[in-house]
Amino acid sequence: MVSPEEEKPATADSVPDARKAVEYLVRQESSEYIAIMDVLEGSVTDLTVAEVAAALVAAGVRLDARLVERRLDALKDMGAVSFRSDTSHARRYAEILPRNWRYTASPAGRHVQRFYRQVLAGTVTVREIPIVSLSRIVSHLEQLAAALGVGEPDASLLDATVLDAVSSVFTSHDDLDAALVGAEDGLIGLADRFDLDEEHTNDLKGLLVDYATRVAVELDSGSARAAAALAVLRPWFGLLAQAVVDASQARDLIAAGALRASRGGRAEDWDGLCAWFDARTGRAARFSLRLVRALPGMHANLRRLHSSAGTASTRSRALALARAVLTPEIGVQIFQAAVGDHSWRKLYGQADEDDMGRNPSWRGGPQVPVPTLLRTAGRSGPRGRGAAPRDDTVAKAQVAEARARRQAGHQRALAEVLAALPGEQLDEAAARAALAALMAAARAAATGPRRTGTSGGLACTLVHTGSGTGILNAPTWRVLLPGRIPLFHRPGQRPSAAALAALAGTTTTDDISAHATLRITPHTGPSTSDNDTSRIISRQEGAA
């Protein structure tokens, strides 16, 4: 019976390894955590919050110092970052606050960050499997088995030549294992996909052909020879591991537990080597099994690419099926295997009759009405050639006529605006064209006493007078411009002489406002036509 204490889930503090430090890779803000860990992992000294923020800016990542401090606190809780507070020279309370702490990546955080950069980030490139390393492993193991397997285990027989052979075995094994794991990952990534394009399918085919003819055979034979040599050396595993430790320059630290011996310095390393070369469950055997399982995926992709390349059309498939069902012995079975998994349809509709026999002919089978969309929008024509496009000459002529009519009306409106004096009433179309140019000028920046804007081929210049009120008159509305007078003209040209003469004697001042102020109001009184600009300005000033 399980006690309540045993049923409690393991907390972050009770986790014996560095699993908690991996948490920052799966958080929503993982990009910020990864950038901060890159800075800490690449620094040889402890960094403050301000120094981390400055390093992030130099790397192209802009984070506020307070946000960096919160991220560092979260990393500290995960165990990926450690900190220290230097109180030896502290003279004020502010000097011991968290923002003055110095942070560095913990050993677990460094391992996690390097794992991310080397394994998770980017695309792993498959490199060639070094058969030379396998040959070197097998030759050294067989030499050791021939030299040590003839007698009882004796530490006096382990000389420098034996230790050099052991070092070569494990160095070559690291190289071989890394390349084999990378090749297996690349093979799995290609073999598990059905939608490979032609280039990736050829890559998969090349991998399979190359490894099936050369690498897999070499791995199988080399693993068998290495396993046989290791079986002879098994009584020597403890002595070989101790000899590697005794020959190390750091043997005192290894004995004290501060350092771990290099590969070959523990009996577990030799047991792992035996497991790696096992004929049934070893790495080479698993890789050969991956090759066999990848063959159906390669064939499926090749068939799909062959079918979609146009070499097998729907018509050729239908003719091939017709020829196949002519066989009197198995014609019915072939037909049922070809279409038995799908309901028989014509023109994307299904027949209602179910008692027409097992294999009715196309002509004598049940009829299905043609769908409405196909009858109304479908095109008909000879086989192999599409119907002629619809004649839309009339519609194009109507569109061009409407466009020309709108353009002519716009030009008439512009001519009326250019011919009118400041403050004179315009018709609705001309007033709207003038209003568009006026709004563009009101948003534009001022140059001295003027600001100019353009819209629809018409320009408007607002002249700043500082007093009075300019006006844009329409039949049912008007626009009031306190302290400014609108002048309309062609883009890149000056206003007309009549407009300039109407404003003769008006004083101007620099316009220092960011934008012009205007107000649109409805007409409340009768419109009067008066070309005297000074009277217009004074009257509009009272209205404003």
What is the pLDDT of the chain when averaged over all its residues? 76
* 525 exposure class (CB count in 10 Å sphere: 0-12, 13-18, 19+): exposed
pTM for the structure as a whole: 0.42
Give the pLDDT confidence score for residue 379 in this predicted structure.
Answer: 53
Q: Which pLDDT tens digit goes with each residue over 21-71? A: 888 888 888 889 999 998 988 887 888 888 889 999 888 888 888 898 889
H helices present in 340-392, as ranges: 372-377
DSSP 119: I
Separation between Cα atoms, residue 142 and residue 406, nearest integer Å: 95
Q: With beta carbons less than 8 A apart as the criterion, state whether 199 and 117 touch.
A: no
Highest mean pLDDT out of 10-24, 109-123, 179-193, 503-517:
503-517
**CA-only gyration radius of the chain, Å:** 44
Min mean pLDDT across 259-273, 311-325, 412-426, 454-468 is at 311-325
Separation between Cα atoms, residue 302 and residue 396, nearest integer Å: 49
Q: Which pLDDT tens digit goes with each residue over 445-484? A: 888 888 999 998 899 999 888 888 888 989 889 999 888 8
Separation between Cα atoms, residue 112 and residue 118, nearest integer Å: 10
Q: With beta carbons less than 8 A apart as the criterion, state whether 479 and 485 touch.
A: no
CB neighbours of 94 closer than 8 A, spacing ≥ 6? 100
**Domains of the chain, first to last:** 18-120 (1.10.10.10), 131-308 (no CATH), 420-522 (no CATH)
- Please report, for the chain, how many H helices and E strands are present, in that order: 20, 8
Q: Rounded to whole angstroms, what are the CA distances from 443 to 301, 433, 490, 509, 516?
A: 61, 16, 19, 19, 7
Give the pLDDT confidence score for residue 312 in this predicted structure.
Answer: 55
DSSP 42: T
Separation between Cα atoms, residue 192 and residue 235, nearest integer Å: 43
Q: Rounded to whole angstroms, what are the CA distances from 128 to 135, 204, 439?
A: 15, 14, 69
**Whether residue 390 has pLDDT greater than 50:** yes
Q: Is the dihedral of CA 305, 308, 311, 315 positive or negative?
A: positive
Higher-confidence position of 3 and 53 = 53
Give the max Cα distance, the chain: 128
**Whether residue 280 has pLDDT greater than 60:** yes
Joined together, the tokens standing for residue 275 give: 């497991």
Separation between Cα atoms, residue 461 and residue 470, nearest integer Å: 12
Q: With beta carbons less than 8 A apart as the criterion, state whether 84 and 52 touch.
A: no
Highest mean pLDDT out of 89-93, 190-194, 235-239, 336-340:
235-239
Separation between Cα atoms, residue 260 and residue 256, nearest integer Å: 10
- Count of other CB atoms within 10 angstroms of residue 516: 23
Separation between Cα atoms, residue 348 and residue 376, nearest integer Å: 15
End-to-end C-alpha distance for the chain, whole angstroms: 92
Give the pLDDT confidence score for residue 315 in this predicted structure.
Answer: 67
Higher-confidence position of 544 and 396 = 396
- Which one, of 41, 33, 100, 94, lies nearest residue 67 by Cα? 33
**Whether residue 432 has pLDDT greater than 60:** yes
Separation between Cα atoms, residue 312 and residue 325, nearest integer Å: 19
Give the pLDDT confidence score for residue 93 in this predicted structure.
Answer: 52
Joined together, the tokens standing for residue 159 give: 């000389």
Report the SS3 class of residue 345. strand
Scored b (16 or more CB within 10 A) or e, 234-254 reads: eebbebbbbbbbebbeebeeb
Separation between Cα atoms, residue 246 and residue 359, nearest integer Å: 84
- Which one, of 231, 225, 245, lies nearest residue 163 by Cα? 245
Provide, rounded to the nearest whole percent, the portion of the chain with pLDDT above 70: 73
Residues, the chain, total?
Answer: 544
Min mean pLDDT across 38-42, 52-56, 100-104, 209-213 is at 209-213
Cα angle 495, 500, 505; round to 5:
150
Give the pLDDT confidence score for residue 4 in this predicted structure.
Answer: 43
- Which one, of 403, 412, 208, 408, lies nearest residue 296 by Cα? 208
